[in-house]
Amino acid sequence: MERIEHRAVSGGWQDVYRHTSTALGCEMNFAIYLPPQAATQRLPVLYWLSGLTCTEQNFITKAGAQRYAAEHGVILVAPDTSPRGDAVADAEGYDLGKGAGFYVNATRQPWAAHYRMYDYIVQELPALIEAKFPVTDARAISGHSMGGHGALVIALRNPQRYRSVSAFSPIVAPTQVPWGDKAFSAYLGPDRDAWKAYDATELVQTSAPPLPLLIDQGDADEFLDAQLRPQLFAQAAEQAGYPITLRMQPGYDHSYYFMASFIGEHIAHHARALKA
């Protein structure tokens, strides 16, 4: 593991590391923010999953999250969104291949050789963080768009591993929208029943115990009606008796301006659960 960036911010340190991933079979970057409290004590961790086309850089440079993490004493970990490297399969367009891992374990070639982002986020990366940094075993998870999809799916499938979950503008029903149809057809094949394991709207119907769950969605989001459709998740959660907070925020779009406006509230949401 090699530290490749080291910057002071909000009294702590914003670092980026590169390491060899066994799950993905390639070199991977992840960002970690260590607030000032980390110099003297172990702290809980909030994992952030970014969206289509992003790397670890988008969140750490645009969201303004470090000041809130320092306020609450929470470590932030932001991995890349997909495997990288010359040997890693790619595709034309922004919504498949590099930058578009969708946080699934691919079962179809050529993707299966490297695209195992689910295992990387759930198992490998936390094991590395917990071995190398001053963290407790209290974890939370959040994300944006494709990363919001990943955060919801991972939390709903592994409620024992996380204290809370949140998302900005998540893809809540990928089996019912074009982004998911394209990615899942490639990564998982034609069996649509297999896709349900990575669909939050399907998973919320059977997941237990419930976690504190917050979703913020802008009503001016250009992807709202065709790709995101949060009402599908809200309806499924209500039918299952799974309590959620879904906030429609007037005037906000899909950009990091939206996240920067509400990231403090999301970190507070997680801090309450992490320290309960």
Domain with residue 83: its CATH number is 3.40.50.1820
Q: What does the H/E/C string look like for 231-270?
A: HHHHHHHHHHCCCCEEEEECCCCCCHHHHHHHHHHHHHHH
Task: Say which amino acid occupies 3.
Answer: R
Q: Are strands 75-79 and 43-49 parallel, antiparallel or unpaired?
A: parallel
Instruction: Give the largest Cα separation in the chain, rounded.
Output: 51
In this prediction, residue 143 carries a pLDDT of 98
Helical residues (DSSP H) of the chain, grouped into ranges: 56-62, 66-72, 117-119, 125-132, 146-157, 178-188, 192-195, 200-203, 230-240, 256-274
What's the number of domains the chain is made of? 1
- Cβ–Cβ < 8 Å for 142, 154: no
In this prediction, residue 71 carries a pLDDT of 98
Catalytic residue among 221, 266, 269, 270: 221
Catalytic residue among 254, 266, 269, 270: 254
In this prediction, residue 6 carries a pLDDT of 98
In this prediction, residue 95 carries a pLDDT of 97
Whether the bond between 212 and the residue before it is cis, its omega within 30 degrees of 0, is no
Active-site residue flag, 145: yes
Active-site residue flag, 270: no
> For a pLDDT cut of 90, what percent of the chain falls above it?
99
In this prediction, residue 183 carries a pLDDT of 98
Active-site residue flag, 254: yes
In this prediction, residue 192 carries a pLDDT of 97
Catalytic residue among 145, 164, 169, 207: 145
In this prediction, residue 267 carries a pLDDT of 98
What residues in the chain have per-residue pLDDT under 50?
Answer: none
pTM of the complete model: 0.97
The token pair at 13 is 């340190």
Residues of the domain holding 190: 2-275
- Condensed to tens digits (0 to 9), the pLDDT of residues 155-171 reads 999 999 999 999 999 99
Query: What's the half-sphere exposure (Cβ side, CA atoms, 13 Å) at 257?
Result: 9
